């Protein structure tokens, strides 16, 4: 008997629904899979036969032929083990389907003992399942946490082959799993632990509010790394939509990273080491998996000791910083991963670190200092809105009381809501036309801007950046119009390093 099953595979972030035809016939024993299976799919037959044997049925002397469609797409991974096993059992008459197979997607990796193992990317498959109008999805129980947020489809999480038979023969009920999305906002690291540095803290508040990229620059031990690690704690909580996007990436990267499953409920913070390879930053591999910049999607990518990174890393960062996604090329074409991160870089002001130090003296020659800045100058620096120059803290700061992350986050959240209701995106993401529309300048501050452009030589690109930062400052202050004080504050976070370029 010929049986048709539906399953799916995920390649990078792209799901493909796969139709499997299974034919059980008389003849020389064997198990053939056609329709562009790769080695991992071909190996499924061993797992299928053993798993079926485990429930007391021996298929080793039968002849089974399976066809995978669409035939022109390479089938990779272990997603198809379970539908193959179910198809074999149905086509040979061992089980009688009650559930409508044409409405059902089945995915799962089988162990020899019939146990169904966790897969990568099941959230992506489940979302595709809904999009394509399927009514049921049978999938590994250990993927339930991430899949449970998917609405409008019956969920059948399964732990072993015998449970799947119950579902197919209509003895199981779909799992009702009321998923309550609760973003985590409390963090063990708090801004109040950082003494002084009010200029830097305000810069980070502006960055968090408008999703502006930041560069912190200062002598060793002033608190750059400390502040970067606390930036997530003042950002608006991750939204449900953002969480789904980020979870899809984590679901694909499972195994490579420390991710337990379930929705990602806080903004990611990724801090790759400066010895990281280009591929670990951008993603890639034979089966492309996301890199650090995509794992930081909707969160923070922190590059500490920024000039220490390889030159090639600066090159590969350009596209994602501009486009908020990354394209990874491979032999059979390109794949794209989202990479919308808030970029935070930290560095010393020179090789020895003491260029600006009030007491210690810098041992670098002016040429060496220039060389140091050359590494970060140009296209990358252009893509960083906020430049924060940090200095040593003062004695009064040591025992002073500091604002908590919660207090700062309140202002950030207000500014975030203002931006969303005005333009549905962060200020940093406005294009030039939108800047002209949303960052209008009252007539009375035109002279100030004229001075900035004519006397200080601010470029057009920097002018737009300045307006966007000013817009964020106005939003933080709850002001409708951009005013002189906002521009003057914004200027302080721009162009600190021009003289080194």
Q: Which residues bind ligand ATP (CB under 6 A)?
A: 194-197, 218, 220-226, 348, 393
- Least Å distance, CB 348 to ligand ATP, is 5
Q: Which does 213 bind (CB under 5 to 8 A by kind): Zn ion, Mg ion, ligand ATP, none?
A: none
Q: Which does 125 bind (CB under 5 to 8 A by kind): ligand ATP, Zn ion, Mg ion, none?
A: none
Task: CB nearer to Zn ion: give 351 or 438.
Answer: 351
Q: Which does 95 bind (CB under 5 to 8 A by kind): ligand ATP, Zn ion, Mg ion, none?
A: none
Task: CB nearer to Mg ion: give 120 or 201.
Answer: 201
Nearest to 31 by CA among 101, 80, 100: 80
**Interface with Zn ion, residue 95, by CB under 5 A:** no
Backbone angles phi, psi at 345, to 5 degrees: -120, 150
Q: Which does 222 bind (CB under 5 to 8 A by kind): ligand ATP, Zn ion, Mg ion, none?
A: ligand ATP
Task: CB nearer to Zn ion: give 264 or 355.
Answer: 355
Show the beta-strand stretches assigned E in 111-192.
116-117, 136-140, 154-158
β-pairing verdict for 2-11 and 14-25: antiparallel
Helices (H), 265-378: 278-282, 292-295, 311-323, 366-376
- Least Å distance, CB 267 to ligand ATP, is 20
Show the beta-strand stretches assigned E in 112-164.
116-117, 136-140, 154-158
Task: CB nearer to ligand ATP: give 224 or 297.
Answer: 224
Please say whether the beta carbons of 263 and 181 come within 8 A: yes
Q: Which does 364 bind (CB under 5 to 8 A by kind): Zn ion, Mg ion, ligand ATP, none?
A: Zn ion
- Least Å distance, CB 405 to ligand ATP, is 14
Task: CB nearer to Mg ion: give 225 or 377.
Answer: 225
Q: Tell me which residue has its CB nearest to Mg ion.
A: 225
Please say whether the beta carbons of 213 and 341 come within 8 A: no
- Least Å distance, CB 306 to ligand ATP, is 11
Cα–Cα dist 301/213, whole Å: 10
Helices (H), 211-291: 224-230, 240-253, 278-282
Q: Which does 220 bind (CB under 5 to 8 A by kind): Zn ion, Mg ion, ligand ATP, none?
A: ligand ATP
Q: Which does 362 bind (CB under 5 to 8 A by kind): ligand ATP, Zn ion, Mg ion, none?
A: Zn ion
Cα–Cα dist 296/326, whole Å: 12
Q: Which residues contact 401 (CB under 8 A, 6 or more apart)?
A: 192
Q: Which does 388 bind (CB under 5 to 8 A by kind): ligand ATP, Zn ion, Mg ion, none?
A: none
Q: Which does 197 bind (CB under 5 to 8 A by kind): Mg ion, ligand ATP, Zn ion, none?
A: ligand ATP
Q: Tell me which residue has its CB nearest to ligand ATP.
A: 223
- Least Å distance, CB 221 to ligand ATP, is 5
Task: CB nearer to ligand ATP: give 37 or 223.
Answer: 223
**Interface with Zn ion, residue 153, by CB under 5 A:** no
**Interface with Zn ion, residue 69, by CB under 5 A:** no
What is the DSSP secondary structure assignment for residue 254, as one 8-state letter? B
Nearest to 427 by CA among 465, 484, 463: 465
Cα–Cα dist 489/486, whole Å: 5
Task: CB nearer to Zn ion: give 244 or 362.
Answer: 362
Q: Which does 35 bind (CB under 5 to 8 A by kind): ligand ATP, Zn ion, Mg ion, none?
A: none
Can you give the length of the chain in residues?
Answer: 501
Task: CB nearer to ligand ATP: give 94 or 199.
Answer: 199
Q: Which residues contact 59 (CB under 8 A, 6 or more apart)?
A: 31, 49, 52, 53, 88, 92
Element (H, E) at 478: none
Nearest to 344 by CA among 232, 237, 255: 232
What is the DSSP secondary structure assignment for residue 174, as one 8-state letter? P
- Least Å distance, CB 328 to Mg ion, is 30
Q: Which two tokens stand for residue 375?
A: 């590494």
Task: CB nearer to Mg ion: give 229 or 471.
Answer: 229
Helix (H, G, I), strand (E, B) or coil at 93: coil
Cα–Cα dist 123/259, whole Å: 14
Q: Which of residues 340-369 bind Zn ion (CB under 5 A)?
A: 350, 352, 355, 362, 364
Task: CB nearer to ligand ATP: give 294 or 348.
Answer: 348
**Interface with Zn ion, residue 287, by CB under 5 A:** no
Give me the residues that bind Mg ion (CB under 5 A), please.
224-225
Site residues for Zn ion per CB under 5 A:
350, 352, 355, 362, 364
């Amino acid at each position: 008997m010929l049986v048709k099953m539906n399953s799916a595979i995920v390649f990078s972030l792209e799901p493909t629904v796969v139709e499997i035809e299974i034919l059980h016939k008389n003849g020389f024993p064997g198990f053939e899979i056609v329709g562009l299976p790769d080695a991992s799919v071909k190996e499924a037959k061993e797992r299928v036969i053993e798993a079926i044997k485990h429930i007391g049925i021996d298929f080793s002397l039968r002849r089974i032929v399976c066809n995978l469609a669409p035939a022109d797409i390479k089938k990779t991974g272990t997603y198809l083990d379970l539908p193959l096993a179910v198809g074999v059992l149905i086509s040979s008459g061992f089980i009688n389907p009650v559930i409508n197979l044409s409405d059902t997607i089945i995915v799962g990796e089988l162990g020899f003992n019939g146990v169904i193992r966790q897969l990568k990317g099941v959230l992506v498959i489940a979302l595709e399942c809904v999009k394509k109008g399927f009514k049921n999805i049978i999938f590994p129980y250990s993927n339930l946490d991430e899949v449970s947020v998917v609405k409008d489809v019956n969920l059948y999480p399964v732990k072993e082959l015998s449970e799947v038979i119950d579902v197919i023969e209509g003895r199981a009920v779909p799992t009702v799993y009321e998923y309550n999305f609760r973003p985590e906002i409390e963090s063990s690291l708090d801004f109040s632990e950082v003494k002084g540095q009010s200029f830097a803290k305000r810069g980070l508040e502006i960055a968090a509010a408008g999703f502006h990229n930041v560069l912190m620059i200062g002598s060793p031990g002033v608190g750059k790394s400390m502040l970067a690690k606390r930036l997530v704690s003042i950002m608006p909580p991750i939204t449900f939509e953002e969480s789904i996007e980020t979870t899809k990436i984590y679901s694909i990267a499972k195994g490579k990273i420390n991710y337990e499953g379930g929705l990602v409920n806080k903004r990611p913070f990724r801090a790759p080491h400066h010895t990281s390879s280009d591929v670990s930053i951008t993603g890639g591999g034979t089966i492309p998996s996301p890199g650090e910049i995509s794992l930081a999607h909707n969160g923070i990518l922190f590059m500490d000791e920024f000039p220490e990174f390889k030159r090639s890393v600066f090159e590969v960062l350009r596209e994602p910083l501009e486009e908020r996604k990354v394209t990874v090329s491979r032999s059979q074409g390109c794949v794209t991963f989202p990479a919308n991160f808030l970029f935070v870089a930290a560095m010393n002001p020179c090789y020895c670190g003491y260029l600006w130090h009030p007491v210690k003296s810098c041992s670098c020659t002016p040429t060496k200092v220039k060389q140091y800045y050359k590494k970060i100058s140009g296209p990358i620096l252009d893509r960083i809105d906020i430049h924060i120059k940090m200095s040593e803290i003062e004695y009064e700061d040591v025992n002073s009381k500091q604002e908590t992350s919660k207090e700062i986050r309140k202002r950030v959240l207000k500014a975030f809501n203002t931006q969303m209701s005005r333009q549905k995106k962060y200020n940093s993401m406005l294009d030039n036309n939108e800047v002209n529309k949303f960052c209008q300048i009252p007539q009375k501050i035109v002279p100030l801007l004229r001075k900035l452009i004519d006397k200080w030589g601010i470029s057009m690109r920097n002018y737009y950046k300045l307006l966007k930062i000013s817009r964020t400052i106005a939003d933080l202050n709850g002001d409708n119009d951009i005013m002189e004080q906002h521009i003057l504050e914004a200027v302080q976070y721009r162009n600190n390093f021009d003289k080194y370029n």
